[in-house]
Amino acid sequence: MRLMVVGGSKGLGRAFVEGLCVAGDEVFGVSRRKPGDLRVGDSVSIDWIEADLGNPLEAARQIEQQAPSELDVLIYNLGIWEENAFTDEYDFLEDSDESIVNMVNTNITGAILLLKRLIPKLLSSESPRLILTGSTSGLRQCGRPEVTFGASKFALTGIGDALRESFREDRLAVTCLQLGYLNTEDGLDIPLREAARRGNGELVPVHDVVSVVKTILEMSCASYVRELVIPAIGDERF
């Protein structure tokens, strides 16, 4: 398998890089800077592309030039949010125009420009898969007030729906993961039982998301998971 993870330097993205490949696989990470001390399995090849999707047009060009000619799986795991998002201090009216433009450029414009360039690299695979990591904040009536972040994640679901139809004849499997609050402090090196205790049931361990994606990648080319909502057990919004 040849896998690319966009937004692979930390948290869930790093867990995808470290946890999805087996011997003989190739993984390509994308982020502003390559992280240190990555733990991948024996005989897994790893390459890194440094690019900043805050400058979406230039980043898309850089990534296209350095990406391999063929991919089997592309995971788009990139998204930024408001400075005070998910806190009591969040106030939409206090968000600067510049920060809103930056979020839209990074979360929406960057996604569209990059996917335009990378999807052709997927289509030669026998079982091409595109996985978009969205958020429960992008679901209707999600109960969250963050305007720009929520809008961008709602847009990502729409991007997935449109791509699914655009490339149905090419059998491109597009999955949208709608993720709740994540425990990104505990990486895969922390035992799952211990990671699950953090947050008292209000955080999803990255281990669980990696496990779900492994299952998706093991499915045959005859089926796919269209959308999956993964909230924490203690999330009262769901």
What was the pLDDT predicted at 37? Answer: 84
Task: Give the integer Cα–Cα distance in Å for 123 and 71.
Answer: 8
What's the CA gap between 21 and 223, in Å, rounded?
21
Which CATH code of 3.40.50.300, 3.30.70.20, 3.40.50.720, 1.10.1040.10 fits the domain covering 2-230?
A: 3.40.50.720
pLDDT number for residue 39: 84
**Taking a C-beta distance cutoff of 8 angstroms, is the pair 35, 49 a contact?**
no
Residue 4 phi, psi dihedral angles, 5° rounding: -120, 135
- State the pTM of this model: 0.95
Q: pLDDT digits over 33-88, tens only? A: 988 888 887 889 999 999 999 899 999 999 999 999 999 999 999 999 999 999 99
Domain ranges in the chain are: 2-230
Q: How many Cβ atoms from other residues are within 10 Å of residue 101's Cβ?
A: 12
Percent of the chain past pLDDT 90, that is, above it, reads 92
Report the pLDDT value the prediction gives residue 42, as an integer from 0 to 100: 80
pLDDT tens digits for range 103-158: 999 999 999 999 999 999 999 999 999 999 999 999 999 999 999 999 999 999 99
Candidates 86, 189, 66, 190; CA nearest to 135 is 86
